[in-house]
Structure 1
Amino acid sequence: MGHSSAIEAAFRLAIERYQSIGVDVQSALETLASVAISVHCWQGDDVAGFENTGETLGSGLAVTGNYPGRARTADELREDLEQAYSLIPGKHRLNLHALYGEFDGYVDRDQIGVEHFQGWIDWAASQSLSLDFNPSYFSHPKANDGLTLAHPDSGIREFWIDHGSACRHIASAMGKSQGNPCINNFWVPDGYKDSPADRGLPRRRLADSLDKIFADQLDPTHTLDAVECKLFGIGSESYVVGSHEFYLGYAISREKVLCLDAGHFHPTEQISDKISSTLMYVPELLLHVSRGVRWDSDHVVTMTDELQAIMQEIVRGNHLNRVHIGLDFFDASINRIAAWTIGTRNTIKALLMALLEPTAELQRLEAEGDFTARLAFMEEQKSMPFGAVWDYYCETKSVPVGRAWLDEVRRYESSVLSHRTQVEASV
């Protein structure tokens, strides 16, 4: 890399600046390198999956755009992921949905097994990364009326209970293989477009279904169950069964991981404000870092105030050992590998910015009631030479510095992605 001397010189000056406010840059970088972001597979193919049933995306989900080069097979998706990971500093994870199994013919979701994900397990081991998992309660004929685990038909509920149970055993096998827990996240889109006459009964059915799914006691060193709330969705604008209050109570009473998605709340709410309070009552949190624009639209993560606030809350509260950071966005209007790269690099940048704060001093000033100095120091922090530290970190992790990663994406688009639009992959 041609700018090594300039990057090194800027980094040394940055170290001096941060030392002057009591921040150990090397310690911050060591902590940053230990944090694995769970990168979501579904950005690479617009949440289509590989079931090859012809079923279109539904159940409250929508992907907009038709940028060329979408991954059509598991091998293409893995190839794209490898390209994305090569542009992102650090060693990270992959978050996989159940509809991304490799199926030899049609396999319904209550029948999926570890064998359908062995290719992913083997690939992850070859890449030295770990997997997380999600049951897929959408884009299926038995989800077309907007209800799954809360469905009034016991047969449909049983089908989705079996799907959840199967996914737990798949996640456990993944965790056992990789030597650390596979986070298995349950998001259930159940709800009504218009106001229901009975809000309580569907929630009792959902709780009962979840209890049946979680009845098997699986090794927590292999897998951890997470439950994810939502305010509303497409087709469930008036009522979502699995609300924040529902899942908060469920996670507390069943000792489950609570998942907070940045787009799943009212536009005036922020998940950064929920981290410290929920961690008082649940063992761990899973975050789906996303960017809602007026609604839960799952835009590519940018360097917003909320993204920075999320990371500040994790670091200031010393919660890195209890918070799992995952991503959840899908944009088909731009190059999908660029979307992964932009969103993941921004998430890591925001975490680094939080690690470079003089946290102890800020909290001391607050405890002493010196709110003037607290505000002044927080504002001065915004002009500290964070960029020089970030560039150095990227270079030491052998990934492109600055905008150079986009050149790599364009080369890959020219040599690989552009050819996918010529002939459809065989299924």
Structure 2
Amino acid sequence: MAWDFETEPEFQEQLDWTRAFLDEHILPLETIDLEVTDEQWKSLTAPLKQQVKDRGLWACHLDPELGGQGFGQVKLGLMHEILGRSSIAPAIFGNNAPDSGNAELLAIGGNEEQKKRWMEPLLAGELRSGFSMTEPETAGSDPTLLETKAVRDGDTWVINGHKWFTSGGSGADFLIAMVVTNPDVHPYQGSSMIVVPTDTPGLEIVRDVPNMHHPYPGQFARHPMGHSEVIYRDVRVPAENLIGNPGDGFVLAQKRLGPGRIHHAMRWIGQSQRALDMMCERALSRYAHGSLLAEKQMVQDFIAETRIDIASARLLCLHAAWHMDKHGSSASRTEIAMIKVYGTKMLYNAIDRSIQVHGALGYSADMPLEEMYRNARASRLVDGADEVHKVSIARRTLKEYSAVDGFPTEHIPTRRAAALERFGDLLDIEVMNS
């Protein structure tokens, strides 16, 4: 089956504009993040967002009737590869997590009133959102263990539970919470998603959890998205805040996470390419022990391995995007899982090698590599731990095979006997038996 990743010349012009726009206007902002307030940051980025909207590249992951461009996954992947060079860029293009995923979730499962109240302002940048699923008391890699419950009481849902790593929670106007609405059935049928405004009584944003990605929450203006600890104490929300039908939670989560994993992986490729660019520039500029670093075989190995890894990940990712465009998200689970696992490994290794070539400079915060390195470690956990995806890949692969009697090596004589029976009259049997 042919794979075609080519796009029309008009879209290539958009990609060229995106790259030039990122290099000229977005990358310089990375150097002043410690010197500006949130309000100053908004004033700096608002004109850039308007340029993106004027260019027709805002929120491209959504269909035109929802305010986007209706790009397929291949086009989105190629665009995210460029945006991945900077952690700032997705927000300026209206596709930053968790807002982009939440908008897509509301587009898929929300009714018209929910779209008007939550999705449209979210797309316009007038509201911010958080995604509240992971819990401290249960394994995040197994969402069937969720304990936060929502109980129907007349025209309201009453929510009680404890969440953390709620992406974007501290700055959000509303959260989309994954909750158990029917504990008497399997979690796949008993979990739901509910919109919870953050000013609802009983909802407490405890803190932004310090972590490798955000060691000092709130320090960086360009990183407004913290990972919040949230407590729900008898939080009452209207019944109409339920997205879709009761029990739709896992179906909605899969539809939300599938495209997101492709976009993450393509952003990882862009970030890895930036790490390679810096590594090559450093190798051609730094002199040590009698020659340039670029002339040393160990550094050459770093460069070659990184370029091979990036090219391999890019092909895997574009194939997954193509497969999803052709067959949909559910039929592409294996392809999506493979890019998630391979992409995280590729990203980590590329940045690690680049830091090594830069030495102390790479380890310092004077270069973006140290932040990229911290983000890379998180990639092995977000959107499902790598190990869970590997299990999923193996299980679906094994379904393509059938068991055989005995060990495979014991089948060699049997297969040979069958071949002799079939072709014996055409062959010299004594020669074959020798």
Which structure has more helix as a fraction of its residues? 2
TM-score between the two structures when normalised by the length of structure 2:
0.24
- TM-score, with structure 1 as normaliser: 0.24
Bigger radius of gyration, 1 or 2?
A: 2
